[in-house]
Structure 1
Amino acid sequence: MDRVTLRDGCLDVMVEGLTFANGLLLGGNDVIDAETWDSSDIQHRKALRRLALLAEDVGLSDADLGRHPGHEPIPADRDTHVVMQHRLRILFPGCYVVGEEATEHDWWAAIGSPPGSLIFSIDALDGSTLYESFTFGYACNLLAYRRVKGNENLLMFAAVMNSSGFVACYQRDEQGALVGNVYTATDIALGTDTDDSAARGAAIGKRLVSITDPVVLDGFRADTVATNASDPARRRVIAPLLADKDLYVSTLGGAPAALGLVLGGLAALVCPRAQTTYDTAYLPILASLGITIYTMHEGKEGFTLGLKEVLGFFDHLAGVGGAWTTEGVTKPVPAFVAARNPQFGAELRRRIIEQY
């Protein structure tokens, strides 16, 4: 399989996931009225297929929920995961799908997959609180792996697509990143319903732009910081930043905000705790663009991450509940600060590290 086919298929699946999730916010999962249903209506046929698919899903077991590494998932988390998993299996027959809302069975199947297998790790709705509370600011994260031998994997593709339609991608062995907005793809606006998924992914792929440096907007401000610290424990870690009257700090960070480092005016992104790989699918993108990434090892001396070091965290599967996987811990990505200006990133790290 060539990289263009992989990229276009992944983009289609991410649009599929966000389209479905956005539809749920608008009541798009309602039961169809059989008396008014037109059998020739594509959208109704697709809705029926989705309803049948979700009805067959056994969901996450109590054991799966007990191993869940983050906040308890909302129904849309699992439903969107199932929709994306189904589409991936159609586009890439024989593939394996894991991620934040995957079952233990799915994880073990991927871990035991033979060489040559294609494995996808997804966080269908990154930022569930933003999705459920604000209806914006969330993202869809996707990682694509090729199993090479034994239980060794290579990260081939990483992408983050936010609820505004912006997308950034990393492709292995290609310089820089691919960026774009799915709203700008001809006849492929987010929410357009079509069964021609290959055409949809290809249309988006053709409109992506290759960049080797972050896009610098006019009026860029060097004092903007985003951090995923909406909970009290993480806010305590970043307290020095919140107290700084000269900084503009948002606690709604994570993957949705990371695109601000690539395409917007964000100066720095702070991740105060260790994360999963599917939560930080944007890190290979940032590293490929040369954005400085400083680690914070719970009070230990940190170091700078380049693309090689980032791929060291990503070239394996890190399953939910690291104790029962054979491929490392659940959250291999350490706390970090990513910044366009290395000096600014180092200063932020110095202030935060004292809180550990």
Structure 2
Amino acid sequence: MTEFFLTQAEMDALLEQNRRLDSLFDQELTQLLQGANYLLERHFSLLLGASVLIDGFYVERTTAKMTSTFIKSSGVCLFPVEFPLGSTYLMFQKEDAKNLAEFLNISLSRATNLFVEEFINVLSDFLTEQTGYWQQGTVTDATAARDSQIKTLTNSQSHIARYNICFNSSSIEVFWLIPGELIREKISLQSGRLGVKRREKDHKTMNAQRPKAVRVEPYEFCPLKVDESESSANSLDIVGDVMIKITAELGSTEMRLEEIMKLKIGDVITLEKAAGDPADVYVSDQNIARAEITVVDGHLGLRILAMDNLKDQIKY
């Protein structure tokens, strides 16, 4: 088994490199912009029709040396994006864009335009909410990036945000050059304003005058005695002229839908009630009597044969 040992100089170099990377990482700005990732995942899931996950997101301060290490000009799509708070630049590899176009089965230009438009719209909504001001980004057509141009942009912007957007076993690595200090300032101001408003509201709530307590003495009313017979009579007098529908049922039966659909003129339907049995008389769906069908002045009528006590069925 071969063993490898680092010299003291090599160990010092690794520690120095790690220290520089730690000093570039901006934890506060990473946390401030982290909230947009959920929105990006949701919107890109709808656009791509697949599950989307943003992995390894972070924001760090820019240096020309650092940026040239991770961003190569060959095969990079560069999109200048203007926001009211300042200029930003969106970059990703053309190879990733080709994979996206192949996944969506559309042209390369169409795929990149859809991707950038969705990305900027989500971030515009997020920055608008976080800063309290309208922050709609305007996208310029893509250009071919050169090493000198990337270094210039890196020097002009204070921070770079990195997104690794994963979908369907593929991914797009996105670099967003931003004026980080200005974004931090705008978001902090909005957070401060919201905090002041919240404290003022809480202070007003605490200082609000409470209504004076009123003492109420208990009081009991004398029970009212009403004669039940008089109450019943009065109730009937009030509703005595109300018209109520009376229905007589000769009989009923059940048939299959197939049999009903085949009915024609001349067919006979047999009821469950036997011939000669009295009809049932209903008032408000309650059976109150049994009656014989008769003819009165050319109209069908009912001759009551048996009847329940209606007063027992009336609810006062």
The structure with the greater share of residues assigned to strand is 2
Structure number with larger C-alpha Rg: 2
- Which range, TM-score by smaller chain? under 0.3
Q: TM-score, normalised by structure 1?
A: 0.18
Q: How does the TM-score come out when normalised to structure 2?
A: 0.20
**Higher fraction of helix:** 2
